[in-house]
Chains A and B, each alone.
Chain A
Amino acid sequence: TCACKTSVANQK
């Protein structure tokens, strides 16, 4: 080193 509707790591 701002889909699932049911279950913030994946945000752009």
Chain B
Amino acid sequence: MIHQYQLNGYNIVLDVYSGSVHVVDEVAYDAIALTDAGKSPAEITAALTEKYPEITPDDVSECLGDIEALRADGKLFSEDTYRDRVFDFKARSTTIKALCLHVAHTCNLNCEYCFAAQGKFHGEEALMSFEVGKAALDFLVANSGRHVNLEVDFFGGEPLMNFGVVKQLVAYARSIEKEAGKNFRFTLTTNGMGINDDVIEFCNRECHNVVLSLDGRREIHDASRSDWQGRGSYDRIVPKFKRLVEARGNQGYYMRGTFTHKNPDFTKDVFHMADLGFTELSMEPVVSPPGTPYALTEEDLPVILEQYEILAKEMLRREEEGHPFTFYHYMIDLNHGPCIYKRIAGCGSGTEYFAVTPTGDLYPCHQFVGDEKYKMGNVFDGITNTDLRDEFKLCNVYARPECADCWAKLYCSGGCAANACHATGSIRGVYEYGCKLFRKRIECAIMMKAAEADMGIDPNDGEACGGDCEECVEEISK
């Protein structure tokens, strides 16, 4: 299967099953399309010499030869060799490598679009005790098998409303990780209200990543993210975020915004964050039931798709001027991205990634918390709902018939189970609106790689690989 598209002056051909990306001229673009449509070399030659009078039959023949060479090399029109012969998903390992610790089911903001129902997840306000958190970390280590890197995200609600327990849990994890042969990587997701010098010092010492919630322009941010007295939070949190990021040096962080029906022109908010000096940016479509004042609509869709293109072009312009910033969804590594196992299995929710409530209940991920039918067990007794775990094990890219003919399936892995569940009632459903946004983002991200190659930036500059780049394959075959 191939996917062809034209964007920002580039003719791009993606070979789905090999992951190959080709940038081609107009003649090759048409020749590949005609080959894909089953036309014979004679038919293709006739069509192309008529459309492009300046080329000869020999030119077309040479181009078709290049196409066939790529086919023979497995880089064009490659077949799906994964579906039937490689994976038994139900039999795959059930080791766990990541937890989302809901240390606080309460919040000091009252954001209108909060999928966590203002932090309480449709339940009572609650704070996680050290004992529950410790049991969660012990559960993670005991069930992590051979995984070395274990990830823990402090989440809520607002986790800084239980900062004392957060610090205790990190200290406990550090005290056991060496003997257990593990490497804990902590993430903190915060609205910023509770940031102070103590928090900054802690984050920069202990957190692999911090996720900082900011929606962009003051009027946009404050319209959605106000406190319980109805006062906007922008002016209180932006200076704190700046201090934290400045003190953080080169360590990981993301400014994480949400866009809604109120600002489908969200690139203005992304650029605002970049102009504030933040360089690691993420802006996500709101998760919301239809019909709310902030839910994205069909009318918003063409606006949003155009915004993604505007964003990509502006990022390239700023990169060329020496003021680059990153956008999470455009950070793809064509040669060193995830291996085929990860691409088929997806995010790992309900199998290797769980959310833990303040009382220790386990859910497939943070977006299922509060929905009792998705409770999978607790940190004291482990996974008790193994049928549900098996259902999530089988929830992969091949489980959704709608994905069979989609070119982006090995980039999205079939999409987010929670989004699918909320949109269709089934974790194996498809949230089609999200698919349209995802496909556009991947098209933009790949186009940026082509443009960066023209700017002299090596698209092969990843730090590690899935063991399948040419250098590694050569090394392994020695």
Chain A residues at the B interface, C-beta cutoff of 8 Å: 1-12
Q: Are A9 and B332 in contact (CB under 8 A)?
A: yes
> Who on chain A is nearest to B336 by CB?
A12
Q: Smallest CB–CB gap between A12 and chain B, Å?
A: 7
5 nearest interchain CB pairs?
Answer: A9-B411, A3-B254, A3-B282, A3-B328, A11-B338
Q: Residue A8 contacts which of B155, B336, B343, B464 (CB distance < 8 angstroms)?
A: B343
Q: Are A8 and B463 in contact (CB under 8 A)?
A: no
| Complex CA distance for A5 and B287, rounded to whole angstroms | 10
| Complex CA distance for A10 and B413, rounded to whole angstroms | 12
> Who on chain A is nearest to B282 by CB?
A3
B367 within 8 A of A: yes
- Which of chain B's residues have a CB closer than 8 A to the CB of A5? 155, 189, 211, 256, 284, 366
Q: Are B412 and A9 in contact (CB under 8 A)?
A: yes
- Which of chain A's residues have a CB closer than 8 A to the CB of B407? none
Sampled A-B contacts (8; CB under 8 Å):
A1-B75, A1-B459, A5-B256, A6-B284, A8-B342, A8-B346, A8-B413, A9-B412
Q: Smallest CB–CB gap between A4 and chain B, Å?
A: 5
| Complex CA distance for A7 and B21, rounded to whole angstroms | 24
B46 within 8 A of A: no
- Which of chain A's residues have a CB closer than 8 A to the CB of B274? none
- Which of chain B's residues have a CB closer than 8 A to the CB of A3? 209, 211, 254, 256, 282, 328
| Complex CA distance for A3 and B329, rounded to whole angstroms | 9
- Residue among A1, A11, A12 with most chain B CB within 10 A: A1
| Complex CA distance for A6 and B347, rounded to whole angstroms | 11
Q: Are A10 and B329 in contact (CB under 8 A)?
A: yes
Known: A2-B342, A5-B256. 14 other contacts (CB 8 A): A1-B334, A3-B211, A3-B256, A4-B282, A4-B284, A5-B155, A5-B284, A7-B287, A7-B438, A8-B337, A8-B342, A9-B338, A11-B342, A12-B463
Q: Are B328 and A6 in contact (CB under 8 A)?
A: no
Q: Residue B331 contacts which of A2, A6, A7, A10 (CB distance < 8 angstroms)?
A: A10
- Which of chain B's residues have a CB closer than 8 A to the CB of A4? 256, 282, 284, 328-329
| Complex CA distance for A3 and B283, rounded to whole angstroms | 9
| Complex CA distance for A10 and B444, rounded to whole angstroms | 13
Task: Please encode chain B, from 415 to 437, with 1 for each CB lying within 8 Å of some chain A CB and 0 for all others.
Answer: 01011000000000000001001
Task: Please encode chain B, from 95 to 112, with 1 for each CB lying within 8 Å of some chain A CB and 0 for all others.
Answer: 000000000000000000
| Complex CA distance for A5 and B282, rounded to whole angstroms | 10
Q: Smallest CB–CB gap between A1 and chain B, Å?
A: 5
- Which of chain B's residues have a CB closer than 8 A to the CB of A11? 337-338, 342
B19 within 8 A of A: yes
- Which of chain A's residues have a CB closer than 8 A to the CB of B462? 12
Q: Smallest CB–CB gap between B441 and chain A, Å?
A: 8
- Which of chain A's residues have a CB closer than 8 A to the CB of B434? 7
B335 within 8 A of A: yes
| Complex CA distance for A4 and B366, rounded to whole angstroms | 12
Q: Smallest CB–CB gap between A8 and chain B, Å?
A: 5
- Which of chain B's residues have a CB closer than 8 A to the CB of A2? 338, 342
| Complex CA distance for A2 and B366, rounded to whole angstroms | 19
B445 within 8 A of A: yes
| Complex CA distance for A9 and B462, rounded to whole angstroms | 14
Q: Are A1 and B328 in contact (CB under 8 A)?
A: no
| Complex CA distance for A9 and B329, rounded to whole angstroms | 8
| Complex CA distance for A12 and B442, rounded to whole angstroms | 16
Task: Please encode chain B, from 379 to 395, with 1 for each CB lying within 8 Å of some chain A CB and 0 for all others.
Answer: 00000000000000000
> Who on chain A is nearest to B328 by CB?
A3
- Which of chain B's residues have a CB closer than 8 A to the CB of A8? 337-338, 342-343, 346-347, 411-413
| Complex CA distance for A4 and B21, rounded to whole angstroms | 26
Q: Residue B335 contacts which of A1, A6, A9, A10 (CB distance < 8 angstroms)?
A: A1
Q: Smallest CB–CB gap between B301 and chain A, Å?
A: 15
B172 within 8 A of A: no
B20 within 8 A of A: yes
B398 within 8 A of A: no
Q: Smallest CB–CB gap between A11 and chain B, Å?
A: 5
- Which of chain A's residues have a CB closer than 8 A to the CB of B442? 9
| Complex CA distance for A12 and B328, rounded to whole angstroms | 12
Task: Please encode chain B, from 435 to 478, with 1 for each CB lying within 8 Å of some chain A CB and 0 for all others.
Answer: 00110001001000000000000010011100000000000000
- Residue among A4, A9, A10, A11 with most chain B CB within 10 A: A9
Q: Are A1 and B367 in contact (CB under 8 A)?
A: no
Q: Residue B445 contacts which of A1, A6, A9 (CB distance < 8 angstroms)?
A: A9
